[in-house]
Amino acid sequence: MRRDIHLKLILPSLTEATSGGWRSIKYSLFPPLGLATLAAYAPSDWKITLCDEHVQQFDGEDDPDLVAIQIYVTSARRSYEIADHYRRRGATVVLGGLHPTSVPFEALAHADALVLGPAEEAWPRFLRDFQAGRPRRLYKSRERTLENLPPIRRDLIDRRLYLVPNSVIVSRGCPHACDFCYKTSFFRGGKSFYTYTVDRAMEEIAPMPGRHTFFLDDNILGNRPFAEALFTAMAGCGKIWQGAATVASLRDETLLKKAVAAGLRSIFIGFESLNEEALRRRTGSSSPSLLDIRGLEF
């Protein structure tokens, strides 16, 4: 196979991002770290371009050899349009993300191959088969680890287009299993919560310009030993940061103090319901709920 391969990575725009009732600012917050991670696995002599349709004009007049598209439920229609477009132009099209993992047979009609579940092990397998000229149609995540993850290709991201360019993700998944969450189906068939090593996390966090950092992890406090070691490493770095966690994790005052000493300034918490009756019915499930924060002071 010739070596001057052009890989195009695309995050199609969510439907609501282009509708008048939504503030476009919401969709220019964070750069597409998932696609920049996929790029890191590609051979160094490949040409790689990245288009985030939320902040960039999509140009379909080019002829990449390989197109990888990340699809959310609400971007599926647009994603399939783009996939069909590039398949007509002769590209090999790979689809992955939450939506293809949920409905693979629907997605397969628009793709040469699917990567289902987390991509860190399945995507490199696809790339090897593609380079050998015999890609298969389905690549399902088998092993779950972030060891040997190459440095993600932040150089492909135009920082000026994002309000929070210093976003980072140092884990995958979450230790909980709320039945309304994407997590269970996306991570089915393997570990559903795993983290970077602290050294690897610091390699990514420390060089980012400016002080502000945003952890996009589902639950930055989800693995206590990891979180504690990370906050110890971050203390004295001069960073300030935000992240997301569960209400239950906020009961750990020692860990919270470490987080604050490491630069924590605010934390996002998702509440499953504010309805007392609904919450009471759900106690006993593994979902952290509003009932868990009774007695906490904010």
Residues in touch with ligand SF4 (CB under 6 A): 174, 176-178, 181, 183, 218-219, 246, 270, 287-288
Nearest distance from C-beta of residue 272 to ligand SF4, angstroms: 7
Closest CA to 11 of 172, 28, 25: 28
Shortest Cβ 184–ligand SF4 spacing (Å): 7
Nearer to ligand SF4, 52 or 217 (CB): 217
Min CB(55)–ligand SF4 separation in Å: 25
Q: Is 255 strand, coil or helix?
A: helix
The DSSP bridge pattern shows strands 167-168 and 240-244 to be unpaired
User: In the complex, what is the shortest distance from the CB of residue 116 to ligand SF4, in angstroms, rounded to a whole number?
Assistant: 19
SS3 state of residue 263: coil
CA 21 vs CA 26, 75, 144, 162: distances in Å: 12, 17, 39, 21
CB of 21 to ligand SF4, least distance (A): 25
149 vs 177 by CB, closer to ligand SF4: 177
Nearer to ligand SF4, 104 or 175 (CB): 175
Q: Which is nearer to ligand SF4, 145 or 286 (CB)?
A: 286
Phi, psi (rounded to 5 degrees) for 267:
-135, 135
Largest CA distance in the chain: 64
Q: For residues 95 and 178, which CB has a smaller minimum distance to ligand SF4 in the complex?
A: 178
Contact 74, 15 (CB under 8 A): yes
Q: Which is nearer to ligand SF4, 42 or 216 (CB)?
A: 216
Which value, to the nearest 10 degrees, does the dihedral of the CA atoms of residues 123, 127, 128, 130 take?
A: 130
As a whole number of Å, the CA-based R_g of the chain is: 20
Nearer to ligand SF4, 93 or 247 (CB): 247
Q: How many CB atoms lie within 10 A of CB 106?
A: 12
Instruction: Name the minimum Å distance from CB 291 to ligand SF4.
Output: 14
According to DSSP, the β-strands at 212-215 and 240-244 are parallel
Instruction: Give the pair of three-digit tokens for residue 144.
Output: 């779950």
CB of residue 247 vs ligand SF4: minimum separation in angstroms? 9
Pick from 142, 134, 92: which is nearest to 116 by CA? 142
| The two three-digit tokens of residue 181, written as one number | 């969450």
Q: Which is nearer to ligand SF4, 177 or 229 (CB)?
A: 177
From the CB of 233, what's the least distance to ligand SF4, in Å? 24
Q: Which residues pair with 49 in a beta bridge?
A: 8
With beta carbons less than 8 A apart as the criterion, state whether 165 and 33 touch: no
